[in-house]
Structure 1
């Protein structure tokens, strides 16, 4: 009963503010304020306010909200740990197996230059710069370190 009275008072105050706003020739804002002020009365008339009042004063309901919060916290924590580790245990196991077997065929990494280039079995001439080999070995070491 008290909740419905409070909702009615809030709505009456909101409609008064909307009337003052409309008097100042700000009709769009007044209409928006009137819409917001009608919401509490509508909620009281549908019975939601009574249900919320009963729920807010119920220790069982608060315990349920606490359990829902704990469940959400567990979900969020496990998801964060899973992301930090790099996927689920099953996904990590599959990527390890794939890396051990060799994910690609040996010829798959060679550029496709046509049938004549594939039959030679040798890659094209390598650049003469010796510093580029060091650069690529560093990159390979970093990629192997990260499991790529």
Structure 2
């Protein structure tokens, strides 16, 4: 009976906070508060509070054993060695592929594509214009493409 009262009080408090958030026109926050406010009542009505209590008790037992039981530390060490071996084999496998120069077909070079021509040059074949190589030391070298687009559009 106490569990029911506490869960419904928590739900009512959460709905009140959601209402205040909605009153202040913070609808996204209000929706989040409302969703979280429904959890205690939902957990009580589905009977999941005893399950949560059991999970909490088992977790506490595990944590106590973690501190005092060398068998648990051995298990953690084995898990760490396993993860390390998996990561090492993945790393070595990638280095072997890079060293041999054999890449899967999906990562090979892209096929050559024909140049796109403007609408006014429909009958003519146009070679793509080479972009002049400019080296600047002002620190804005990454904006060359944007600058070129703006120049073409007259901005």
Give the TM-score category using the shorter length: 0.3 to 0.5
Higher RCO, 1 vs 2 (CA within 8 Å, ≥6 residues apart): 1
Structure with greater proportional helix content: 1
- Under a length normalisation based on structure 2, what TM-score does the superposition of the two structures give? 0.41
Q: Flag the structure with larger Rg.
A: 1
